[in-house]
Amino acid sequence: MNLSLILSLLVGFFILIGSLISIFYKDNKKFTDFSISIAFGVIVGLIVLEILPETFEILNGEIGIIRSIVAIIILILIGIIMLKILDLFIPHHEHEAHVNSKSIKEHNSHLHHIGLISSFAIIIHNIIEGMSLYVVTNSSLSSGIFLFIGIGLHNIPMGLVIASTLIASNYTKAKTLKLSLVVSLSTFLGGIIMAILGGVRALTSGILLGLTLGMLIYILIFELLHQIYHMKDKKIPLIGTLVGLLLLVLSTLIEFIIN
């Protein structure tokens, strides 16, 4: 098994980590906020320092400067739209039971439905991310490792959402963990798909990297930034973001020195 597949397998287990935290560790707010903040810093640095320059370099060599710029803009928009469509199938849920508006049984059924729909949408979402991670890692090992960190830390809150919703709907811990495991393996499926397809041409790699840029920008703005904005302790996102950026900058400097 090559490193790209190994990373696509391991990154999915961050969802399982999120589920375990939700089930066994109730006071998980600060941990979640810090992981989100680090993911924000890593992804910002990854976009600016690694994936955007790499995408432009590949496409420029294939179709020229002007077409490359236009293509990157279009691919980013497509990537954003792809995740936005998937996001429509992940309803935002409330943890409180609406006793006055529905019975406990109806409320639990609703939470169960949300949990399953969320899991299905996240599976599709993670298959795409697994494909992107495979392509990025094959293009640049350091970029792949930090995309792995960014996606992994971003997956922890996803696991929290799945587990907290299903547990609230009276799902057993065992069933919740089994479903979380299935979801966690979906990123690996994306990696396997890319491995089966075999090596991709430079232009195809550039296109996939451009789509990855759009998806990362969507995650950055519409998911991570939204959650950071609502954090009460503003020191956590500041420190976490700086830590994420510092890790990526140090890695880039080390790679530059080695090469």
Q: What is the pLDDT of residues 169-187, one digit of tens each?
A: 667 778 888 888 888 888 8
DSSP string computed for 107-138: HHHHHHHHHHHHHHHHHHHHHHHHHHHHHHHH
Burial class (CB in 10 A: 0-12, 13-18, 19+), 193: middle
The separation between CA 20 and the C-alpha centre of its own chain, rounded to angstroms, equals 18
Note the pLDDT of residue 78: 93
Note the pLDDT of residue 100: 43
Mean pLDDT of 72-100: 69
3-state secondary structure of 189: helix
Six token digits for residue 206: 């550039």
pLDDT for 96 beyond 50: no
Note the pLDDT of residue 213: 86
Rg of the chain (C-alpha set)? 19
pLDDT for 202 beyond 60: yes
Six token digits for residue 115: 């949990």
Please identify which residue in the block is written with the tokens 């992107």: 132
Q: What pLDDT band is residue 138 in, cutting at 50, 70 and 90?
A: confident
Note the pLDDT of residue 21: 77
For residues 127 and 188, the model is more confident at 188
**Nearest residue to 123 (alpha-carbon basis) of 176, 60, 190:** 190
- Give the pLDDT confidence of 99-113 residue by residue, as tens digits: 444 444 444 454 444
Q: What pTM was estimated for this model as a whole?
A: 0.61
